[in-house]
């Protein structure tokens, strides 16, 4: 990241905010996120609350974009980079700055947020830490915004699918990116989004290999099983940040998220399998639940990734892997139609 935790603190609306106030505010914010939907908007109305949100969620949310973008094809990334990106519900500018970091400052972003305090906070961070003149913040959608890229990070939750679909129809974006909490409630919403984006002629650049085929997790839910498709980003943070997350009792080393990227760009290249759940590690294999395309249909299966086909370095790196990666594979043995021993290519 382009800043240290200390530098971020001095760029807050209330730089002198105490750790105690940060923790109290974070507890209130995270309760609002998880249970009290009606109170969710209160956290954007107070300078200390906005500062606490920024100090904690900006550094931990920024890496989510890199994780998702690393799995997009070059064509899709180029289409995003060459467009104007609206980060709707930008908050303190989280994904606007994540885009700056990913594309090394060479990207045009408009961060939009209805909260004046969030806009003020985002502008202060840009002035102090990024100094990127191609990034601006405002409270309304730019009128001329058509055929570009629309991004929502942790704001679909507040906005709702209906409002988002109205915006998609109005602004006809080339790309739509959502990065939301990895909860089962959000997955139910995202299934509706997937269906409506398919009807509008979009392709799914992440995470589904085939948008025409019914989501296999949706099939499981309809059969009465409790499941949801999400990704899990595993990472480490700066020491000062880790300390704060421990005091606040909010784990950010393992972050469940639901990211989807839709595009009108023609998707080329082979379709890879996607790991959707880390099941276990045994002496002989890593066992993953995987979503993959077979005969034009998306299917779920257990893949045993055989350790004897991996180097020691590869074993170590798979022990730390985030959930949601895609990969090429070769089937070594079919145990049954839903269980295979495989080798990574
Ligand atoms: C949870 S915060 C997310 C901030 C940032 N994107 C992040 O991920 O850290 C949601 C933000 O969406 C904004 N918001 C909610 N509904 C909105 C709308 N209809 N238009 C613009 N902003 C909205 C709120 O003011 C809030 O700042």
Question: Given pLDDT bands bounded at 50, 70 and 90, which one contains residue 116?
Answer: very high
Within 17-109, residue ranges assigned H as helices are: 19-34, 47-69, 74-81, 94-102
Structure token pair of residue 169: 């129809």
For 244-261, how does the pLDDT look when each residue is reduced to its tens digit (9 = 90+)? 999 999 999 999 999 999
Domain's final residue, options 234, 263, 292: 263
CA of 303 to the centre of ligand 1 (A): 38
CA of 112 to the centre of ligand 1 (A): 8
Would strands 175-181 and 329-336 be described as parallel, antiparallel, or unpaired? unpaired
Clarify whether residues 169 and 306 are in a common domain. no
Start-to-end CA distance of the chain, whole Å, equals: 31
pLDDT of 197 reads 98
Clarify whether residues 298 and 326 are in a common domain. yes
Clarify whether residues 110 and 133 are in a common domain. yes
Structure token pair of residue 4: 């240290």
Average pLDDT, the chain: 94
Q: Pick the residue whose CA is nearest to atom 11 on ligand 1.
A: 89
In this structure, how many other beta carbons lie within 10 angstroms of the beta carbon of residue 250?
16
Clarify whether residues 120 and 15 are in a common domain. yes
Question: Given pLDDT bands bounded at 50, 70 and 90, which one contains residue 29?
Answer: confident
Clarify whether residues 186 and 51 are in a common domain. yes
Would strands 84-88 and 108-112 be described as parallel, antiparallel, or unpaired? parallel
pLDDT of 144 reads 92
Q: With 90 as the cut, is the pLDDT of residue 123 above it? A: yes
User: How many domains is the chain built from?
Assistant: 2
Question: Average pLDDT, stretch 26-49?
Answer: 72
Question: Given pLDDT bands bounded at 50, 70 and 90, which one contains residue 39?
Answer: low
Clarify whether residues 59 and 120 are in a common domain. yes
Distance CA 99, CA 64 (A): 11
Q: What letter does residue 269 receive in the DSSP assignment?
A: S
CA of 287 to the centre of ligand 1 (A): 37
Q: Pick the residue whose CA is nearest to atom 16 on ligand 1.
A: 159
Asked if the structure places residue 268 within a domain, the reply is no
- Read off the CATH number of the domain in which 137 is found: 3.40.50.150
Domain of 302?
A: 273-344
CB 148 within 8 A of CB 86: yes
Would strands 326-327 and 273-281 be described as parallel, antiparallel, or unpaired? antiparallel
Q: Pick the residue whose CA is nearest to atom 9 on ligand 1.
A: 94
Q: Pick the residue whose CA is nearest to atom 17 on ligand 1.
A: 89
Distance CA 30, CA 36 (A): 9
CA of 159 to the centre of ligand 1 (A): 8
Domain's final residue, options 263, 282, 315: 263
Index of the ligand 1 atom closest to the CA of residue 57:
9
Structure token pair of residue 238: 């700066």
Clarify whether residues 294 and 161 are in a common domain. no
CA of 123 to the centre of ligand 1 (A): 15
Would strands 339-344 and 329-336 be described as parallel, antiparallel, or unpaired? antiparallel
CA of 20 to the centre of ligand 1 (A): 25
Asked if the structure places residue 17 within a domain, the reply is yes
Domain's final residue, options 263, 287, 317: 263
Ligand 1: list residues with CB < 6 Å: 44, 57, 61, 88-91, 94-95, 112-115, 118, 153-155, 158-159
Distance CA 234, CA 2 (A): 20
């Amino acid at each position: 990241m382009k800043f240290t935790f200390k530098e971020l603190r001095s760029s807050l609306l209330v730089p002198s905010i105490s750790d105690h106030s940060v923790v109290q505010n974070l507890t209130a914010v995270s309760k609002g996120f998880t249970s009290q939907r009606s109170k969710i908007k209160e956290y954007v109305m107070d300078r200390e609350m906005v500062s606490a949100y920024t100090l904690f969620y900006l550094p931990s949310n920024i890496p989510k974009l890199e994780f998702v973008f690393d799995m997009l094809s070059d064509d899709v990334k180029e289409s995003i980079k060459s467009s104007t990106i609206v980060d709707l519900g930008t908050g303190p500018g989280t994904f606007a700055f994540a885009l700056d970091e990913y594309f090394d400052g060479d990207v045009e972003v408009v961060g939009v947020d209805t909260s004046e305090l969030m806009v003020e906070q985002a502008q202060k961070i840009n002035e102090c830490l990024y100094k990127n003149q191609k990034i601006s913040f405002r409270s309304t959608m730019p009128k001329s915004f058509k055929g570009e890229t629309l991004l929502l990070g942790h704001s679909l939750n507040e906005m709702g699918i209906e409002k988002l679909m109205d915006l998609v129809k109005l602004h006809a974006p080339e790309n739509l990116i959502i990065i939301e909490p990895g909860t089962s409630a959000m997955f139910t919403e995202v299934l509706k989004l997937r269906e409506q984006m398919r009807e509008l002629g979009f392709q799914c650049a992440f995470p589904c290999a085939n948008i025409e085929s019914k989501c296999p997790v949706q099939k499981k839910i309809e059969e009465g099983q409790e499941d949801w498709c999400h990704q899990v980003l595993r990472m480490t943070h700066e020491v000062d940040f880790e300390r704060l997350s421990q005091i606040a009792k909010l784990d950010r080393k393992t972050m469940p998220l639901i990211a989807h990227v839709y595009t009108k760009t023609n998707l080329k290249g082979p379709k890879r399998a996607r790991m959707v759940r880390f099941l276990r590690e045994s002496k002989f294999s890593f066992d993953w639940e995987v979503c993959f395309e077979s005969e034009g249909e998306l299917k779920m299966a257990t893949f045993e990734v055989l350790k004897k086909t991996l180097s020691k370095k590869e074993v170590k790196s798979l022990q730390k892997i985030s959930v949601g990666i895609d990969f090429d594979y070769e089937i070594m043995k079919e145990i049954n139609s839903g269980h295979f021993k495989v080798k990574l290519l």
